[in-house]
Amino acid sequence: MADDERPAQQPIVALGQMLGGIAAMQREQAEMNRQFLGALQAQAERQAYALEQLAARTAAGPPVLAPSKLAGVVLHKMTAADDVQSFLDTFEATVEACGWPTAEWGVRLLPLLTGEAQTVALGLPPAARHRYADVRKAVTDRLGLSPEDHRRRFREARLGPGDRPFAFAQRLRDDAARWLQSESTVGTQDVVEKVVLEQFVGAQLGSAITGPRPWGPPSP
Statement to judge: residues 133 and 164 lie in one domain: no
Task: Over range 105-132, report the average pLDDT.
Answer: 90
Query: Within a domain: residue 139?
Result: yes
| The predicted structure's pLDDT at residue 59 | 47
Domain boundary among 108, 123, 144: 144
Long-range contacts of range 77-86, CB-CB < 8 Å, 24 or more positions apart?
A: 77/111, 77/112, 77/113, 77/114, 78/112, 78/113, 78/114, 78/115, 78/117, 79/114, 80/114, 80/115, 84/117, 84/139, 84/140, 84/143, 84/145, 85/140, 85/145, 85/178
pLDDT band, residue 220 (cuts 50/70/90): very low
Number of domains in the chain: 2
For 141-190, the pLDDT digits (tens) are 887 766 777 677 777 667 777 777 777 777 777 767 766 765 554 445 55
Q: Cα 51 from chain centroid?
A: 35
Query: Within a domain: residue 178?
Result: yes
Domain of 171 in residue numbering reads as 147-204
For 74-85, the pLDDT digits (tens) are 788 888 888 888
Query: Within a domain: residue 47?
Result: no
- Give me the half-sphere count of Cα atoms (radius 13 Å) on the Cβ side of residue 58: 11
pLDDT band, residue 97 (cuts 50/70/90): confident
Question: What's the mean pLDDT when you consider all of the chain?
Answer: 69
Statement to judge: residues 92 and 139 lie in one domain: yes
Query: Within a domain: residue 11?
Result: no
Statement to judge: residues 162 and 200 lie in one domain: yes
Query: d(Cα 141, Cα 103) in Å, to the nearest integer?
Result: 22
Statement to judge: residues 118 and 133 lie in one domain: yes
The total number of residues shown for the chain amounts to: 220
For 26-62, the pLDDT digits (tens) are 677 667 666 666 666 666 566 555 556 555 554 444 4
Query: Within a domain: residue 77?
Result: no
| The predicted structure's pLDDT at residue 92 | 87
For 8-34, the pLDDT digits (tens) are 556 666 666 667 777 677 677 667 666
Query: Within a domain: residue 74?
Result: no
**Residues in Cβ contact with 25 at an 8 Å cutoff, skipping those fewer than 6 apart:** none
Domain boundary among 144, 160, 190: 144
Query: Within a domain: residue 193?
Result: yes
Statement to judge: residues 199 and 154 lie in one domain: yes
- In eight-state DSSP terms, residue 62 is S
pLDDT band, residue 131 (cuts 50/70/90): very high
| The predicted structure's pLDDT at residue 132 | 92
Domain boundary among 144, 168, 184: 144
| The predicted structure's pLDDT at residue 193 | 61
CA angle centred on 73, ends 72 and 76, rounded to 5°: 135
Statement to judge: residues 123 and 159 lie in one domain: no
Distances in Å between the alpha carbon of 24 and those of 29, 81, 165? 9, 25, 17
Statement to judge: residues 139 and 158 lie in one domain: no
